[in-house]
Structure 1
Amino acid sequence: MTTMFDYTIPDHIPEELIFPLDGESHPQLKKNPFAVFADLHKEAPPIFFNPAAFQGAGGWSISDGAIIKEVLQNPELFSSKNNTGFSFLLGRELDLIPLEIDPPEHMKYRIHFNKPLSPRSIAPREESVRSTAISLLEKFQSSGQCEFVEDFAIHFPVRIFMDLFGMPPEDFDRILDYENKLLHVSNTIETRSQAARDIYDYLVDLLADKRANPKDDLASAILGFTVDDRQLTDKEILGMYFLLFVGGLDTVASSLGFAWRYLAANPKAQQQLRENPDLIPGAIEEFFRMHSVVEVRRSVTKDVEFHGVQLKQGDFVNLITAVASLDSKEFENPLEADFERSPNRHCAFVFGPHRCMGSNLARLEMRVALEEWLNRLPEFSIEEDAEIDVNLGAVVSLARLPLVW
């Protein structure tokens, strides 16, 4: 082991491949991370070792979009097993299913979600989703201002997920508190670990309730899933519950925040969508592309030379989906919004076997939010002199977004 930049570097890492990437070495990450990610290939090697990754533990990262996609589609060499870190926080092994299950076993679990999360199954939820958006908007619509992250972006997807999953509405504040403590990496390990345990205990109680009182919701439906002609174990069910709990809360809120920041700073884009609502589906894909908020982790399954770099079994690889979505070799003028961009094979929902199961619901939420905002509110902008900082981590998000109209 050697020490550099106040980080410990494993001996098998060549010095020329070391490139620190965090809020200290790149202060712009806290203001506009996507500008940094779009230009990362100009600064860092295609595969580089970031000693700041994983809260200072260090790991490989990639600045080339094509290589990111290659890794995501090669689970034999780059495994998802135990890669979210939640087992560590919980203090017990719990695979988040199917995310932390590698092929071929992965599809035995994943296939059950294809129907309940399909476009056909999600479409009937539109009325409820729209009602949620309207009820939130009406609370501040006449005031001429809001703090978008707190007043809308967080509440909207959480309420929708709780309804989909069959959680009691009165648990909203509790769920929000768990989410905040678990997912914000600025919190201490102790705080996040306690939140993980609290969520686990909550889900154990939820499982018992669904067994006793099954309803027409996703949590109840999971109880009927089978694998290899057997019923799921409680541990497997809790692994599914935990994954959906985490995945259903933070990512859409983050995507909403960045999309609304763009619209607030670009009145011509607002007007374009108001005058041409048929462009909204294309705008949604463009917002997901421009602001791919998720970073995912894989672990190397064997010693291998990969694109000229020696990787060791057990090495972690951090995949910044925004780097692939902003790759100028695939997307012309990647930092500029083109609501008619086609094709638009962005990486916001990841590639390969672990592509996001909730993408259809995310698209519905984004579309309804855009439609209701543009129909109900006049031109909006960011409050003058507002400081807009970014929360860094596995999901990048805006800390706040004060809007006025």
Structure 2
Amino acid sequence: MAINPVPDHVPSEMVRDFSLFTSPGMAPTPNGDPHAAVACVHAGPPIFYSPCNTRGGRGTWVITRARDQRRVLQDTETFSSHRSIFSSALGENWPMIPLELDPPAHGVFRSLLNPLLSPKRVMVLEPAVRERAITLIDRIAASGTSCDVMKDFAFPFTVSIFLRLLGLPDHRLDTFVGWAKDLLHGDDVKRPAAARTIVAFIDELATKRRKEPVDDFMTFIVQAQVGGRRLTEEEVRGIGVLVFVAGLDTVAAAIGFGLAYLARNLKDQELLRREPDRIMLAAEELLRAYPTVQIIRVATKDIDFEGAPIRKGDYVSCATMIANRDPAEFECPNTVDLAREENRHAAFGYGPHRCLGSHLARREIVIGLEEWLARIPAFRIKKATAPITSGGHVFGLENLILDWS
């Protein structure tokens, strides 16, 4: 990974050797704990400069305190979300919508999409979500006493829900998961190739739905209007790509990290089996302890922020995994306490850009845990195997082999 030089305006004493991509524990690691590795930043200054904290090797200011991250994410005038993170991998410059739009355009598109993922809509989807979880887990239970839970449950479960939302068939599930892995965790060759494939797929789906509308998300988008006009092809692509990418990896990872924790902590596992009413609260704590996303903003003007001379164009990192381990925000932040109340975690971000799909994600995680614990006996990580964790823009988990023999 090429590292850009530290800009002249950054004082040398504010530079720290830290990266969500290259620090110890961030590379794919058997039995790793990247969340604990990241938590060590709280022993240092509340804001510092990391010379290499993006996939492209760019430096970012790192905001460590949860309250300061909220200030950044709330202030859309000073800290823009328009980075074209996906399209730049293709040498292009269009935003994922609404994630990479700033107000007032952001609000227009957010209002358009909110009803599709509202709590009310999620209630309608819930029976299908539960049915899918039960089908997968029953199949796993019938086929033996161990499984690769990411491959056999977490990905097929979350991705199939998302495919149903998009109106796409299940039989392409493995293909889509492969694209997501290449995009989020692949190298400099796989990533742009996956991006091109996804764009071509979204464009093709949009064209198809314009000609043959059905009752699904993409038909809604190609027929929708903002300000009395239909959406442009680029806007349809920006929405389609965001929904596609957001639906493929993060919720599966959240379920995986949660099950890995319970596999290692049998008392907590037994508690949730005995008292399933606690699962909803427990899911919030697992989201706090094991969030997966780094949020980056771009400074729109020069500003002195908590003593840091941030200049126009600088990248500012608000990593959820750092905010959620802030000792000023959470008592014993590195301890998982499944009874933790008033859990103001940042797993879904904060401010106007708070995750649009958070209601659906929460229900998927809770239902996934409920049905897994109801159908699979006491489980551990299989002897002589090791889950592999990785840091980066989105934290990941694979090779999680659970055993209940």
Scaled to the shorter chain, the TM-score interval is over 0.9
Q: Using the TM superposition, give the Cα deviation of residue 377 of structure 1 relative to its aligned residue in structure 2, in angstroms.
A: 0.8
- Larger deviation: 395-404 or 336-345? 336-345
Structure 1 counterpart of 2:53: 53
Match of 1:277, as an amino acid?
A: P
Helix, strand or coil at the partner of 1:318: strand
Helix, strand or coil at the partner of 2:117: coil
Does residue 26 (structure 1) correspond to residue 24 (structure 2)? The answer is yes
Match of 2:25, as an amino acid?
A: P
- Larger deviation: 11-20 or 157-166? 11-20
Q: Residues 27 and 115 (structure 1 numbering): CA distance in 2 closer, same or farther, change over 3 Å?
A: closer
Structure 2 counterpart of 1:401: 400
Quick one: percent identity of the two aligned structures?
A: 40
Does residue 16 (structure 1) correspond to residue 13 (structure 2)? The answer is yes
Q: Using the TM superposition, give the Cα deviation of residue 341 of structure 1 relative to its aligned residue in structure 2, in angstroms.
A: 2.0
Structure 2 CA distance for aligned equivalents of residues 138 and 118 of structure 1:
29
Once the two structures are superposed, the pairs formed by residues 6-405 of structure 1 within 5 Å of their partners are 8-22=5-19, 24-27=22-25, 30=29, 31-43=32-44, 45-55=45-55, 56-83=57-84, 85-142=85-142, 143-184=144-185, 187-405=186-404
Structure 2 CA distance for aligned equivalents of residues 233 and 195 of structure 1:
23
Gaps of 5+ in 2: none
Structure 1 CA distance for aligned equivalents of residues 165 and 403 of structure 2:
32
Q: Using the TM superposition, give the Cα deviation of residue 6 of structure 1 relative to its aligned residue in structure 2, in angstroms.
A: 7.5
Whether contact under 8 Å (1:69, 1:324) holds in the other structure is no
Structure 2 CA distance for aligned equivalents of residues 27 and 228 of structure 1:
48
Q: Residues 252 and 134 (structure 1 numbering): CA distance in 2 closer, same or farther, change over 3 Å?
A: same
The alignment covers a number of residue pairs equal to 397
Match of 2:15, as an amino acid?
A: I
* Offset from partner CA, 1:83-125 (integer Å, 9 cap, x none): 5x21111222221000110012210000112211111111121
Structure 1 CA distance for aligned equivalents of residues 322 and 146 of structure 2:
33
Give the TM-score normalised by structure 2. 0.94
Helix, strand or coil at the partner of 1:292: coil
Match of 1:27, as an amino acid?
A: G
Match of 1:301, as an amino acid?
A: T
Structure 1 CA distance for aligned equivalents of residues 165 and 312 of structure 2:
39
Structure 1 CA distance for aligned equivalents of residues 25 and 349 of structure 2:
26
Whether contact under 8 Å (1:282, 1:339) holds in the other structure is yes
Match of 1:135, as an amino acid?
A: T
Q: Residues 356 and 25 (structure 1 numbering): CA distance in 2 closer, same or farther, change over 3 Å?
A: closer
Whether contact under 8 Å (2:26, 2:392) holds in the other structure is no
Structure 2 CA distance for aligned equivalents of residues 128 and 204 of structure 1:
27
Helix, strand or coil at the partner of 1:223: helix
Whether contact under 8 Å (1:294, 1:321) holds in the other structure is yes
Give the TM-score normalised by structure 1. 0.94
Structure 2 CA distance for aligned equivalents of residues 107 and 255 of structure 1:
28
**Cα RMSD for the two superposed structures:** 1.8
Structure 2 CA distance for aligned equivalents of residues 167 and 276 of structure 1:
36
Gaps of 5+ in 1: none
